Amino acid sequence: MTWHGIRGHDDVVEQFRRALARGRLASSFLFVGSVGIGKRAFALKMAQALLCQTSPEAAFDPCGTCESCQQVAAGTHPDILSVEKPKEKSEIPVALLIGDREHRGQEGLCHDISLKPFMGGRRIAIIDDADFLNEEGANCLLKTLEEPPPRSVLILIGTSPAKQLPTIRSRCQLVRFRPLEPAAVAELLLSQKLVADAAEARRLAQYCGGSIQQALELADPALWEFRGTLYERLAAPVLPSVEFAQVVSTFVDAAGKEAPLRRARTRQVLAFAADFYRQLVLAKSGAAIAEDTGLRRFVEAAIARSPGDAEAAAVRLDRCLEAAEQVNRNANQTTLIEAWLDDLAAIPHSPAR
């Protein structure tokens, strides 16, 4: 089912409907889940439902045609405030929350949400990229979270509760969003004309982990060509870490001059590596190998060369996941890649017991 075009989150819709029916809507929420699964889209549709001039709040069912609904859809509603990390920044600037040094407390989201609603309903603030709040920025939010203005709703959007300060987590109602089902991803890719071919949509949906953003990143044919090179090196008895780090870095740099493009490509390389070691762990534990023939061939080759237990593969998998987290923290790409491959090469095929 879908809720006003929002696919895959019917359980969250019902959660809010129950809260509204009881008159127990919280004032602060922390939306968490993978990138690209619709959290921001849900937050905007939620704002539309709460500000709708025709449909009652408890219905959680925006009409889509009143002046308020149309303004939300156009991104011009005066009672919706939005903050996100600028592309050129590694953190959300504090000035966006409390104003610049010359206007502290007179501008910014924390000031604006305290103002009376322009259209008589609510003031709704959405902080996208909340994973990139620094400690100072998070502390600036505390007063607003502790003493929320009347008829206000604050929504923080991130990927994990662990990336927020405990003081933030304790003052927000946690709302978890699950990855989209592959069928939903494929349907969205086609309906939004993000890909033209149904077979391509299904292929991307199979590998994207329920994320539209990741599906679009995977649409790059160069990634799939490089995947074979990566798997060949990972399946070899010895990983030439120094030589291969240069190969990986060159491939990452080819994504473009902008840092977000290079980070996205690094994440995909690490995701492919994690898939390889995850399948290797399963295969060495007696489970069936994935039907993906390209991956299967290299997993079988790795087992033939090193038929030991799954422990070493599990350690390598953990290192890939750790490296992915380091990408999200804006670590230097070249250093990250070199350290990651050096660590993989240093892990023995059969850890000492």
Distances (CA, A) of 55 to 51, 128, 131, 148, 152: 9, 27, 33, 25, 19
Count the residues in the chain.
Answer: 353
pLDDT tens figures, 44-99? 999 999 999 999 999 999 999 999 999 999 999 999 999 999 987 888 999 999 99
Q: Say if residue 168 is in the same domain as residue 266.
A: no
Whether residue 353 is predicted with pLDDT greater than 60 in this model: the reply is no
Residue 338 and residue 227 share a domain: yes
Contacts of 24 (CB under 8 A, 6+ apart): none
Range of the domain at 117: 2-176
- Same domain, yes or no, for 144 and 199? no
Q: What is the mean pLDDT of residues 275-297?
A: 86
pLDDT attached to residue 287: 84
Q: Are residues 163 and 16 in the same domain?
A: yes
Gap between the Cα atoms of 282 and 279, Å rounded? 5
Q: Is the pLDDT of residue 32 over 70?
A: yes
Q: Is residue 306 part of a domain?
A: yes
Task: Calculate mean pLDDT across residues 139-155.
Answer: 93
Same domain, 292 and 245: yes
Tell whether 236 and 310 lie within a shared domain: yes
| CA-wise closest residue to 217 among 198, 200, 202, 204 | 204
In a domain, 44, yes or no: yes
Same domain, 229 and 201: no
- Does residue 353 lie within any of the structural domains? no
Residue 65 sits in a domain whose CATH number is 3.40.50.300
- Is there a single domain that holds both residue 128 and residue 259? no
Give the pLDDT score at 261.
Answer: 86
- Whether 32 and 124 map to the same domain: the answer is yes
**Where is pLDDT greater, at 286 or 251?**
251
- Looking at the fold, whether 287 and 146 belong to one and the same domain comes out as no
Residue 349's pLDDT is 62
25 and 37 share one domain: yes
Q: 99 and 75 in one domain?
A: yes
In a domain, 32, yes or no: yes
**pTM for the full predicted model:** 0.81
